[in-house]
Amino acid sequence: MTGATTPADRDRFTPADRDGSAATTPRAGSHNGAASHDGAASYGGATSHDGEGARPGATLADGTVSRPGGTDPAGTAPAGTAPAGTAPGSAGAPHDMLAHVPPPQEIKARRTVRLGTISKSRKRAIRYGSLLVILIAWEIYGRSVNPIVFTYPTAIVRAFFDMIADGTLTAALVDTATVLLIGSVIGTVAGVALGLLAGRSEVVRQVMDIPINALYALPAVALIPVIVLWFGFGASAKVFVVAFFVFFPVVINTQRGVAEVDPELLEVTRSFCSTESRVWRDLLLPGALPYIFTGIRLAIGRGLVGVIVAEFFTAISGLGNLIVTNANTFETARMFVPIVILSLIGVVLTAALSGVERLLAPWRRER
């Protein structure tokens, strides 16, 4: 039976083996034919001198305890594993931890690599190539449709120069840009200030939560009659409408940005007894900047919608006036000129905002 020791087996072991002071190894010609102290076979197929292959837990001749897979001279590392501080495959040579560190360029490339990553030149080619395809398809289709119903890019370009020549486009553009600028600045400043306050104070956040969500979900066009009653038909009503459209995406994203700052970092600032102003300057504002810029980016589109809505429903002026006037006279190409200009304003403002974000938040990875 396996594991039982007969009198004949006990005679084959030395006294030291019986009392556990050395490895339990048979004399010459013992179990499984492994080498023993004197080079004869040992029990379990292991050599007791160095412990390779010895039974787990057996005491070896040098005083170490064998482990599965063998032990090193200190009895700590499995067989086949290089000692601590040596490189794999080296004969005891000290291992330099920085020997295989890639250069900074490779480290940066590894950090930014993602599935489907393409080069900047290919991004530009895809972006402008797709735009060119859209314009060509628009031109082809537009020429096959009644010009009263639809138009095409070359006709819009001709109408653009005609409107520049008669001065109508320039005056309307200045009027719309003034209202858009003033309303956007007011809405952005108010949204950032209130969002920072709500993100830092739980009381303010709870007070603002329901009113902001309710007003944000409310169609702003429904408030135009009330706004006209309050501010009249002048520029102040249009500025208020634009500020109203811009305010909500900015305040919501700013509040979320402050709330998403790592609580452990806030705990570190408390541990170092940082003042509230230092916490804002060194932690909260930098942490909330990406969210603030996201809110402003969303607010650009809403501001453009707001200024046209205001020009439609209040004093008809600016680019909104050109759209309404040319639509009423069925001059489709001239009607599309202010529409295309509004689209270009949105593209330019978004690109400019991305540049400002890279300047103020250089730690943000460019995607």
Q: Which domain holds residue 163?
A: 151-360
pTM: 0.64
pLDDT confidence tier of residue 131, bands split at 50, 70 and 90? very high
pLDDT in tens, 283-307: 888 888 989 999 999 999 999 998 9
Three-state SS letters, 166-179: HCHHHHHHHHHHHH
Q: Are residues 41 and 128 in the same domain?
A: no
Residue 259 lies in a domain: yes
Residue 223 lies in a domain: yes
> In CATH, what number is assigned to the domain containing residue 308?
1.10.3720.10
Q: Are residues 169 and 142 in the same domain?
A: no
| Residue 233: φ, ψ to 5° | -100, 10
Residue 110 lies in a domain: no
Instruction: Please give the tally of structural domains in the chain.
Output: 3
Measured from the Cβ of residue 258, the count of other Cβ atoms closer than 10 Å reads: 23
Residue 113 lies in a domain: no
Residue 162 lies in a domain: yes
Q: Are residues 164 and 269 in the same domain?
A: yes
As a whole-number percent, the residues of the chain with pLDDT over 70 amount to 67
Q: Are residues 194 and 231 in the same domain?
A: yes
In the chain, what is the straight-line distance between the N-terminal and C-terminal CA atoms, in Å? 70
**Can you tell me the distance from the alpha carbon of 204 to that of 207, in angstroms, rounded to the nearest whole number?**
5
* Cα distances (Å, whole numbers) of residue 330 to 60, 92, 123, 147: 102, 89, 39, 9
pLDDT above 80: residue 147: yes
Most confident of 100-104, 158-162, 217-221, 353-357: 158-162
Residue pair 112/104 in contact (Cβ under 8 Å)? The answer is: no
Q: Which positions ≥6 away from 367 have C-beta within 8 Å?
A: none
The whole-angstrom distance between residue 149's C-alpha and the CA centroid of its chain comes to 44
Residue 100 lies in a domain: no
Domain termination site, one of 33, 48, 72 = 72
Residue 108 lies in a domain: no
E strands present in 97-219: none
Q: Are residues 233 and 185 in the same domain?
A: yes
Q: Considering only CA atoms, which of 49, 70, 60, 66 is closest in space to residue 16?
A: 60
Q: Are residues 340 and 234 in the same domain?
A: yes
Domain termination site, one of 107, 128, 147 = 147
pLDDT above 70: residue 73: no
Please tell me which residue, 269 or 163, carries the higher pLDDT value: 163
Q: What 8-state DSSP symbol labels residue 282?
A: I
Measured from the Cβ of residue 267, the count of other Cβ atoms closer than 10 Å reads: 10
| Residue 62: φ, ψ to 5° | -90, 10
